[in-house]
Amino acid sequence: MDINKVLDAYDMAESVHEFQKRLDGMPYFWHPSRVAKIFVVELNHFDAPIVCAALLHDALEDSNVLTPDIIELNFGSYTSYLVEKLTKDIKATGAMKDWVEREYVERLMQSSEDARMLKLADRLDTYRCLEFNVKKNPIKYIMQTQEHYFPLAHGSQNPRLKYLIKELQKEQNKYLG
């Protein structure tokens, strides 16, 4: 693994999320760092562009200055591709929010398995934090994950995608029984 690139991505993500807090009051940066940890520790996946993307997966949504070109310049085209695939318009409201969500899921369905794994790892980390009130309505979040994001692994023989779904199911059983 190109540890220098990963450390640079860590620093960039930490800077982007420096003043953000999750609903539970914890620093937001802990979330992307845990998503990266899922890749390294649980999935045994040491590919630097993917670990960098895990760290930066919310950076474009949360920065007014960061662009895909900056990510590409610093971390390469594949990391930039992954971060772009994982970026959605989080400011949309009402009917536009529903349209953005549908378009986002469709884009993920058409993307690489790495992008789909990143999204499922992102959801898994949030599942693991539901008990700390990171979502206003955890049941709704779980139902949306089942409906929209579980299909990202449908038909795949990738053991990492299967692992993520299995872990998501274990976590959701804490809420749904």
Catalytic residue selected from 61, 72, 89, 101: 61
Classify residue 131 by its DSSP letter: G
Residue 175's contacts (CB-CB under 8 Å, 6 or more residues apart) are: 130, 138, 139, 142
Longest dimension (CA), the chain: 46
Please indicate whether residue 89 is annotated as part of the active site. Answer: no
Catalytic residue selected from 62, 72, 84, 101: 62
21: helix, strand or coil: strand
Please indicate whether residue 62 is annotated as part of the active site. Answer: yes
Residue 147's contacts (CB-CB under 8 Å, 6 or more residues apart) are: none
Placement of tokens 């139902």 in the chain: 143
Residue 174's contacts (CB-CB under 8 Å, 6 or more residues apart) are: 130, 131
Query: Annotated active-site positions, please?
Result: 61-62
